[in-house]
Amino acid sequence: MTNDTHVLILGGNGFVGRHLASRFAKIPEWKIDTLGSKECDLTQTESIAILQNKINPQTRILFCSTISRLREDSIKAFNKNVKMAENVAYALSDCSYHSLIFCSSIDVYGRPPSENPITEQTRLNPAGYYGYSKLVSEYILEKELGYNRGLAILRLPGIYSLDESDPSALGAIFNAIRSNLPVQLSGGGKHIRTYLNIFELYTIVETIFFNRWSGLVNLSSSKSYSLRESTEILRSFIGSTSEIMDTISNGSEFDIVISNDKVRYEFPDIMPMPLEQYLEIICKPPPYQPPSVLYSGV
């Protein structure tokens, strides 16, 4: 990348936006700007002019602003998420920029999905208003901007960091384990889930920005675990005596397994990072720096 690389993160105050902004700020050649809803409410028409004033031909845009399913899954949230995509598309249609990454969701395949493992060809069956809002937003960005303008759509599973700000299921389990509190697993935690750690996400985002990769891809980690397996790994790693308690089924016990064939084909230089390796990394004392992608001659 050149010295004038500019990265604009939309949704910079959210979980993903904060983590990636912090990581990218450590790259000397990158100038990082973040916009949260207070600085730029993407649901409002006024945001179009604000965005256009922030963008130049070297701007890489990470669009992770969203009202998540866990926060609100309603028609009101649907309308806001779609309006954000609409205003971003309007703003960029008249601008010269480098590339755009849109953070979508595997919820476009349904909860539960129609098949496991999920591939990019799996039948779309959005779950709730949130899943539909992501699919409609994808459609708007694809039709208004197009892949030929550097559009990358990432369909994300649950993202985890295992720090205190982690809102994921794994984050909640790990926080309980660190405090030696009991962990309750609905239906015994036998259902398998694919997650992605934050290191893997920003390494892929960095790679996409570096290469101006465009297209659509499901992101997944190297291995899928049952929630019970994940809990046992977390508990064993720190030597916790937390009790694992099986609770009555709450209806969310279904498998979500994502094929990583395409992501491994498109990004072969990125090494997969299973949960055990991620734990070893985050538990190392400072000044450990997370690994970045290594490129020949760069």
Nearest-5° Cα angle at 224, 227 to 282: 80
Residue 268 inside a domain? The answer is yes
| Strand 192-193, strand 225-226: pairing | antiparallel
In a domain, 183, yes or no: no
With beta carbons less than 8 A apart as the criterion, state whether 249 and 179 touch. Answer: no
Helix or strand or coil: residue 81?
helix
Give the tens place of pLDDT for each residue, 39-61.
999 999 999 999 999 999 999 99
pLDDT the model gives residue 298: 26
Q: What's the mean pLDDT when you consider all of the chain?
A: 91
The letter for the amino acid at 203 is T
Q: Is the pLDDT of residue 76 over 90?
A: yes
At residue 144 the predicted structure's pLDDT band, cuts being 50, 70 and 90, is very high
**CA gap 139, 257 in Å, rounded:** 24
Note whether residue 168 is domain-resident.
Answer: no
Could you tell me the CATH number of the domain that includes residue 141?
3.40.50.720
Q: Which of 107, 158, 151, 111 is nearest to 132 (CA)?
A: 107
DSSP secondary structure, 218-249, as one string:
E---S--EEHHHHHHHHHHHHT--PPEEEE--
Structural domain containing residue 78: 5-160+196-221+257-272
Whether the pLDDT of residue 293 is over 60: the answer is: no
Confidence of residue 248 (pLDDT cuts 50, 70, 90): confident
Is the pLDDT at 284 greater than 80? The verdict is no
Predicted local distance difference test score (pLDDT) of residue 289: 47
Both tokens of residue 104? 């979508």
- What's the whole-number mean pLDDT along residues 160-178? 92
pLDDT, tens digit (0-9, with 9 covering 90-100), for 210-221 = 999 999 999 987
Residue 246 lies in a domain: no
Mean pLDDT of 249-272: 89
Residue 116 zone, left/alpha/beta (φ > 0; ψ -120 to 50; rest)? beta
Cα-based distances in Å from 174 to 20, 65, 188, 244, 272:
21, 26, 17, 12, 21
Say whether pLDDT at 150 is over 70. yes
**Number of domains the chain contains:** 1
pLDDT at site 159: 95
For 116-140, how does the pLDDT look when each residue is reduced to its tens digit (9 = 90+)?
A: 999 999 999 998 999 999 999 999 9
pTM as predicted: 0.92
Q: Is the pLDDT of residue 290 over 70?
A: no
Instruction: For residue 182, tell me if it sits in a domain.
Output: no
pLDDT at position 283 over 90: no
Any domain includes 190: no
Q: Which pLDDT score is estimated for 285?
A: 52
pLDDT of residue 262: 94
Domain annotation covers residue 185: no
3-class DSSP state for residue 212? Answer: coil
Q: Note the pLDDT of residue 297.
A: 26
Tell me how far apart the terminal alpha carbons of the chain are, to the nearest angstrom: 9
* pLDDT at residue 243, as a whole number: 92
What confidence score (pLDDT) does residue 235 get?
93
| Crossing angle of the two packed helices 75-93 and 128-144, in degrees rounded to 10 | 10
The alpha-helical segments, DSSP class H, found in the chain are 15-24, 47-54, 75-93, 128-144, 169-178, 198-211, 227-238, 261-266, 275-282
Q: How many helices (H) and strands (E) does the chain have?
A: 9, 12
Evaluate whether residue 277 is within a structural domain.
no
What is the pLDDT, as a whole number, of residue 281?
86
Over 50: is that where the pLDDT of 38 sits?
yes
